[in-house]
Amino acid sequence: MQEIDIFPWDNNFNTGIEVIDIQHRQLVLILNKLATNIVHVSRENKLSSIFDELVDYTLYHFQTEEAIWHKYLQENPLEIKHQAVHQELIDTVLHFKEDLHTRPVGEVAEEALEFLSRWLVLHILESDRYMAHIVLALQEGISLTDAKARAQEKINDLTLILIDIVLSRYRALSSASLLLMREIQERKQKEEKLQLAASVFTHAREGILITDANNEIIEVNDTFTLITGYESEEVMGKNPRFLHSGKQAPEFYAKMWKTLGEQNYWSGEIWNRRKNGDAYVEMLTISVILDDAGKVNNYVALFSDITMMKEHQSQLEHVAHYDVLTNLPNRVLLADRLSQALLRSQRNNLSVAVAFLDIDGFKEINDTYGHNIGDDLLVTLSGRMEQALRKGDTLARLGGDEFLAILIDLKNPEDCTPVLERVLLAASKPVTLDGLVMSASVSIGLSISGPDENIDGDQLIRQADQAMYQAKQHGKNRYHRFDLEKDSAINIQRKSLEQIKTALDNREFVLYYQPKVNMITGEVIGVEALIRWQHPEQGLVPPIKFLPIIEN
C-alpha cells in the first residue's frame, strides 16, 4: 500500500527541543497513515487500529511534553491551557473511534483527517513553538516576562506564513482530492486484478475455454493447447463440439445442456479427442456467465486431462480382480460372477455348474523343472482351458494349480458334458516349453445347481472340490460329478475315522482273551485275542461295527 504524504515534514516545524520534534514527526507519520487508508478504502477495524495508535502515542508524547513545561512553567496559566488542549484532542479522537460503529467509515475518517491536520498545524506552529521558545529562553537565565516577549517576537514573523502554507497544502488535498486519489487507486487495483486474472488464465494448470452466448470460442489458454494440440488460432469462432470423441451418446449432451440451463453449472467426466486423433478423458466444469439482465453472456469451461489417472485406476481395479500370472479372474471376481450366475439361473429357470479343476502332477513338474517352467505351464494350460469354454462361461484361478469354471445357462445337467470333455482334451495336449515337451492333464470335480435348488456359491465350490478328489482317486484326467448320497457316506466315514482316532488317543480299545480248549482232554491249549471298543457313550462296541471302516 503506497503511503500518501498529505502532511510532509518541514524543518520550520522544529521547536528547538529535540525530543519534542522527534515525537512530532511520529505523530505526522500516523496522520499520513490515516490519509493513506482513506485513499485505499480501509475497513472499520483498520481505521480503529490507527485511532488507537494515535491515542496511545499522543498520550506518550503529551506526558513528555508536559513534563518539560511543568519543570519551567509550574502552575503557570500557559501550562494549564496547554494541558486542556491536549485533553481536547484525545477526547475528540476517541469520539471519532466511537463514530466508526454508527456512521459511514469513510465519512468519519475524512472528518477526522481534516480535524487532526488543522489541529496539528496550529498546535505545532503556534502553541508548541511558542512554549518551546519560552523554555529555551528560561534555560539561558532570562526572566519569564522577557522569555515570553522573546518567544512572541520569534514566532510573529513566520508563524502566520507557515500556517497559511500548510493549510493551503491541505486544502489542495481536501476531500475532493482524496476522492480523486481514491478513484485512481481503485482503477489501479482493478488493473492489477485484471493483470492477475490474465496471468492466472495464461498459466493455469487447467485448460480454459471461453465461448460467447452462441457457444463460439472467443478465448483459450496455453494449457488448452497443451492438452488438445490445437493452437488458439485454429479454434477461434468454432463450436467446441469439434472436440467430441463420439464415445458419448447425444442423450449425454442433452442432459448436460439441460443442467446448464437450470443450474448455470455442470461438472463431470467427458471423453474428447485431441488433434492427433487420440481420445482422452477430462474432468470438465462449465459455468454460465450472465449479464445484468440475466441473459447468457459467456460459457467458461475449465478442464483437466485425467486419462493417466483413469488408466492407473483401471490398473488397480484389474489387479484387485484378476490373477497376476494368468490374467484370469481371481477369487474376488469369481465370487461376484458366481453370485450373478445363480441369480440369473433362478430368473431364467436354468442350471449353473461349477467345475473345480486341478492340474495332475503339477507339483512334480514344478519341483523338477523350476517355478518359471511351472508358471509358463499354468499360463499355457489356463489359456487352452479358457478357450474350451463357451462364451459367457468363466474360468478363474483360485491359486497354485487350482482353477474353477462357472458354466451358465444349462437347460439340462448333461449340457456341460461336451464342455468338460473339451477342457480335458485341451489340457492333455503336449506342451513345449524351453525345448522341453511335457504332458499334463487335469482332474475335474463338478457340482450343479438347478433353478429350484437353494444352494449358495460356497457350497457349490465345496461340493465341486470333493468331487475333484474323487476324480483323482479314480485315475485322474477325468471329471466326476458330485453325488449327494456318496457325499453323505463319505462324511459319515470321515466322522467315524475321526472318532476311532480319538478312541486310540484315549486308549478306549480293550482286549478280551477267549481260551481254546481241547474238547477231548479238556486242556487249555491257547487263547484268542478279541478287540472291543469301550465307547464312553455307546458302551462296549463289537468289532463288526468299526473294523470295516478302517479296512484299506
Q: Is 207 exposed, middle or buried (CB count within 10 Å of its CB: 0-12, 13-18, 19+)?
A: buried
Residues contacting residue 364 through CB under 8 Å, at least 6 positions apart: none
The residue type at 283? M
Determine how many CB atoms are found less than 10 A away from the CB of residue 137: 20
Dist CA 48 CA 55 (whole Å) = 11
Count of helices and strands (H, E) across the chain: 18, 15
Q: Which CATH class is domain 11-188?
A: mainly alpha
Dist CA 458 CA 447 (whole Å) = 11
Rg (the chain; Cα; Å): 51
Bridge partners for 322 per DSSP:
329
Residues contacting residue 411 through CB under 8 Å, at least 6 positions apart: 350, 351
Residues contacting residue 322 through CB under 8 Å, at least 6 positions apart: 328, 329, 330, 333
Dist CA 423 CA 475 (whole Å) = 17
Bridge partners for 220 per DSSP:
209
- Full pLDDT tens readout for the chain, 552 residues: 555 565 667 677 788 888 888 888 888 888 778 777 776 655 667 778 888 888 888 888 888 888 887 888 877 887 788 788 888 888 888 888 888 888 887 788 778 877 887 777 777 777 788 888 888 888 888 888 888 888 887 776 555 555 565 555 555 544 444 554 555 556 666 666 766 666 666 667 888 888 999 999 988 888 899 999 999 899 999 999 999 999 999 999 999 999 999 999 999 999 999 999 999 999 999 999 898 888 999 999 999 999 998 888 888 888 889 999 999 999 999 999 999 999 998 889 999 999 999 999 899 988 888 999 999 999 999 999 999 999 999 999 999 999 999 999 999 888 999 999 999 999 999 999 888 888 899 999 999 998 888 788 999 999 999 999 889 988 899 999 987 766 667 777 778 888 889 989 999 889 888 889 888 888 888 898 888 889 888 888 888 888 877 776
Element (DSSP H or E) covering residue 222: helix 222-228
The residue type at 17? I
The domain made up of 204-308 has a fold known as Beta-Lactamase (3.30.450)
Whether 11-188 and 321-482 share one fold: the answer is no
Dist CA 351 CA 408 (whole Å) = 7
Bridge partners for 270 per DSSP:
282
Output the CA torsion 518→519→524→527 (10° steps).
Answer: 80
Number of residues that make up the chain: 552
Dist CA 266 CA 76 (whole Å) = 80
Dist CA 532 CA 436 (whole Å) = 57
Domain boundaries, the chain: 11-188, 204-308, 321-482, 493-549
Give Cα separations from 434 to 96, 243, 367, 370, 437 (angstroms). 96, 50, 16, 12, 8
Dist CA 7 CA 168 (whole Å) = 11
The residue type at 166? V
**Which grid coordinates belong to 278?**
487420440
We find that the CATH architecture of domain 321-482 is: 2-Layer Sandwich (3.30)
Determine how many CB atoms are found less than 10 A away from the CB of residue 353: 24
Helices (H), 140-205: 144-172, 175-203
pLDDT value at position 396? 96
